Amino acid sequence: MTYTLTDSDILAVALLSAEGRYEYCVEKLVAGGAVWSLRSDDGWVVMSTQDGEECLPVWPHRAFAAQWANGEWADCVPGEIPLDVWMDRWTPGLEGDGTLLAVFPHSDEQGTVVTPSELLASLEKALAER
């Protein structure tokens, strides 16, 4: 299940702070039922934080992920992970690997960096409030 984004939606989200984008992302991940990232023939993209930690970037919609498929990631395409699969399989796997998440990076910002279990807690809270 996906939702439609307008150009004005994309522009409005671009003006949000990293914290605002995190909150928006959690809300839309629950509403859309999927997590989006980027992948290539070599696998899923991992970026480094300013502290040198590896992060999997995630977005709430294909369009936001697609904006990052350029430069060194020009060979990448948005990849969809169903939310239930994300919560049940990806979260424990990423946690076990020690991989952090860059939630909704935008422009030159790395987004909000959290552990997979921190994002899971936010998602579970949002689902409970529905």
pLDDT in tens, the chain (130 residues): 567 888 898 889 989 999 999 999 999 999 999 999 999 999 999 998 778 889 999 999 999 999 999 888 899 999 999 999 999 999 999 999 999 999 999 876 778 999 999 999 999 999 999 8
Determine, yes or no, domain membership for 89.
yes
Q: What is the pTM of this model?
A: 0.92
CA distance 28 to 7: 16
Structural domain includes residue 2: no
Q: Is residue 55 part of a domain?
A: yes
Range of the domain at 121: 7-128
Question: So what's the pLDDT on residue 53?
Answer: 86
Distance CA 67, CA 20 (A): 19
Domains in the chain, number? 1
Q: What's the confidence (pLDDT) of residue 10? A: 87
Residue 1 resides in a domain: no
Return all residues near 50 (Cβ < 8 A) that are at least 6 apart: 110
pLDDT given at position 74? 93
